[in-house]
Structure 1
Amino acid sequence: MASIESARATFDKFDVNGDGFITADEYSAAMKAMGDAYVTGAVADAVLAAKDANGDGLLSFDEFWAALNK
């Protein structure tokens, strides 16, 4: 299990605009920056949809934290 501090730091790296949510575009860009060039828009949409508990198309920190602790 990740510590909440390290999870917050990782979340903040993905949340480029600092609005408190990760979009599919932010997720895809972050993954590409970490060397995973295969995360297309469709893949990012699917990953977010799987973890997006309230269905708003965005990943909040609470949803991110919950996904890490499953």
Structure 2
Amino acid sequence: MNLIISNLGILLVLAFLFVKTFNHFVKTNNAVKDAWSNIAVALKYHYNLTPILDETLKGYAQHEKTTLECVIHTRN
């Protein structure tokens, strides 16, 4: 009888360790997927900001060009 109880106890401990290890792997896998998702969101956000930055720089370049032309005209 003691042999059956000890074998059952060992089996329960092994099952518990298996479930705990499996849950750890699932949690780690979900954390990795979440991290890659955050990277994808950040890259998409920066990709979407590129045209806005481009337009801003074109406007600033036009302003600098106008200012430089005014300064050159005034000096002459």
Q: Tell me the TM-score normalised to structure 2 length.
A: 0.20
Which structure's CA Rg is the greater one? 2
